[in-house]
Amino acid sequence: MPDTHITHLNNCTCNSCSEEQPVTPITQNSRRDFFKSASAIAAGAVLPASIVNAVSGDAYHANELFTNKAVKDGKAKLITILHTSDIHAQLYTHDEFFFENNKAVYKKRGGFAVLKTMLHTLKAQNPANTIIIDGGDCFQGGGVAALTEGKGIVPLINNIGYDLILPGNWEVVYGKDMMLKDLGGYNSAKICANMFHDTADEYKNDLIFPPYWTKMLGGVKIGFIGYNDPLTPKRQSPAYSKGITFTKPEINVAKYIHVLKQYENCAMIFLVTHMGLAQQVDLSNQPQLQGVDYILGADTHERVREPIQGKYAKVTEPGAFGSFVAKLDIVIENGQIKDENYQLLDVDPLKYKPDAAMERLVEKVSAPHKKELSKIIGTTKTTLVRYYVIENPMDNLITDALMWKCKNANVDIVVSNGFRFCPPLAVDPKKGYAEITNDFLWSMLPVESDVKMGEVSGAQILEWMEKELHNVFAKDPAKRFGGWVVRFKGMEMNFTMNNDLGKRVNFIKINGQPLDKNKLYTMLACEREGDPDDMLCRLEKVKNPRKPGFTLHGIMREYLASHPMVAPKIEGRATATDAPSTLLSQLEGYNYTFI
């Protein structure tokens, strides 16, 4: 297959092209300019004006792709890719966060039964040429997943009928062996080109999963290459990924692109990645990506509603928690790409009736744990939400509980990691509160960790916070972790996110007093299994590290029993001079807004 059609798609900033004209490379022409300059179009195959002028994400445009004459006559084929990711084991329809007119709005979305109906409904529109992909982080994040080490989620994924799955950074949470068993239970294909066995046996340095997968769709072969986040061992407890080595995509992606183009004769190449939107956009601008059409991304739960155009590829990401499905429709004629349309669609229970078979299966896998998980352990008068990058009510609740438990231990600062998982828990407007269950506790804190404490100097705290802020806001997107700013209580910090490393923190106060670089402070956080004894939440060389014998879940249950009605809110514990408290994405400098 010649490279012309690949160049055409990668260089085109539009989303629709002529049905009959010869396909030639274009650079910065808009869709309208491209059509104006096109050669004569054969009679009977002219795309209607609505397609010519449509924009990405246009539902009307999507419908026109299915009904235009070339597709109906069989001259062109329409292929569809349905993409989910970061479901985080959310079994049921739940509250979901939207930001509309500068305020938070909550709607019911998701649930495996609703998701299955939606995916099958969309696939039925184009059954022969539709594939369903998941981008990882599926069997971590909920009570059933945690209590079964992911096994309870496997039959649900199989019941949906995914074609292709990529392991995400949290697939390692139960250890390498359990990851292999859970992913091995999936009926779908699995790919990942940068996870290698780090063992002292015959598997050493072998790829754990096949690096790519191909599929004939619409009479052409489509290729997919998979990449997990190479920063996984640093972002979370190192013990989780013991026995696995991760490498950067740039090391081998050009090799696999060459294989797919020159030997597999793929008409299109997709990267399926779980690296975070900032890293994925950065990757789309790297020369090793030449020949890739799309990066189907995941990890940071971003909601990309129009593909982000990089130099060599377009980037998408489909939100989280089973609340959204990304739908990409592409028209191919004679092996050439003629038109495309991308939409991010809500998994809305008012539009899609829950699938009865899936409902029964969810109840079956949940039944052994339902009594314990459905137990109400507290109530909240304010909505628990974790979408904000800088500070959020959910982690303020967690750090409130940690400080309360350690009130007699002279702890100065308590810390919660910058997690993103867990859908919101919205207050019922009729009741005026929401009930917190054990299942929701597992969603907030999917790992039952010990807490750990130690003494650190003010100078260490300052250096640590500079590093943590750099993980979130580094000017080089490739250096950004997929998480948000760490959360804390007992400390107040102001920073400038767009400054350079070492120059972001404007001030830190501990217990209301300016940070003293020479003073020792007592700090408490969760234990990260596999870290050195003298490390605390990525802060190194902690003095007198010790574990007081408490667990995060135990503390949360005690606190909620003592405070049966909580009301956490954003208090200004962390503030930025150049970002609002409602900052929802770490991706800056691109035409993208989280909504």
Alpha-carbon distance of 391 to 570, in angstroms, equals: 6
Q: Which residues contact 378 (CB under 8 A, 6 or more apart)?
A: 435, 436, 559, 560, 561, 563, 564, 565, 566
Q: Token pair of 123, please?
A: 């696939």
Residue 233 pLDDT more than 50?
yes
Query: Between the ranges 415-419, 428-432, 479-483, where is the mean pLDDT highest?
Result: 428-432
Q: Is pLDDT at 163 greater than 60 in this prediction?
A: yes
CATH class for the region spanning 374-576 = alpha beta
> Using CA of residue 61, residue 101, residue 303, residue 380, what is the dihedral sign?
negative
- pLDDT number for residue 1: 37
Residue 478, pLDDT score? 79
170 touches 141 (CB < 8 A): yes
Paired residues of 469 in beta bridges: none
Mean pLDDT of 24-53: 30
Domain with CATH 3.60.21.10 in the chain: 78-356
C-alpha distance from residue 168 to each of 85, 86, 238, 243, 363 (Å): 9, 8, 15, 16, 26
Residue ranges matching CATH 3.90.780.10 in the chain: 374-576
Q: What is the pLDDT of residue 353?
A: 98
Lowest model confidence (mean pLDDT) among 303-307, 542-546, 589-593: 589-593
Report the half-sphere exposure of 366 (CA within 13 A, side-chain side).
20
Cα separation, 94 vs 530, whole angstroms: 34
CA–CA separation, 35 and 144 (whole Å): 53
Cα 507 from chain centre: 31
Tokens 């972001």, located at residue: 504
pLDDT in tens, 78-107: 999 999 999 999 999 999 999 999 899 999
CB atoms within 10 A of CB 360: 11
Q: Which residues contact 127 (CB under 8 A, 6 or more apart)?
A: none
Structure-block tokens of residue 159: 């019941």
Q: Name the token pair of 352.
A: 């899609």
At residue 76, does pLDDT exceed 90?
A: no
In this predicted structure, the answer to whether residue 338 has a pLDDT above a threshold of 90 is: no
> 78-356: which CATH topology?
Purple Acid Phosphatase; chain A, domain 2 (3.60.21)
Per-residue burial over 110-123, b = 16 or more CB atoms within 10 Å of its CB, e = otherwise: bbbbbbbbbbbebb
Name the phi and psi angles at 155, rounded to 5: -65, -25
Residue 498's CB is within 10 A of a number of other CB atoms, namely 14
Q: Are 218 and 78 in contact (CB under 8 A)?
A: yes
Q: How many CB atoms lie within 10 A of CB 42?
A: 12
pLDDT tens-digit profile of 262-299? 999 999 999 999 999 999 999 999 999 999 999 999 99
Strand partners, 224: 213, 270
pLDDT of residue 438: 98
**Polymer length of the chain:** 595
Residue spans of alpha helices (H) in 518-589: 552-562
258 pLDDT band, cuts 50/70/90, is very high
Measured distance CA(99)–CA(300) in Å, rounded: 17
- Largest pairwise CA distance in the chain: 83
Helix count (H) and strand count (E) of the chain? 18, 28
In this predicted model, which residue has the larger pLDDT, 484 or 383? Answer: 383
Is the pLDDT at 74 greater than 90? The verdict is no
Identify the top-confidence range among 231-235, 338-342, 506-510: 506-510
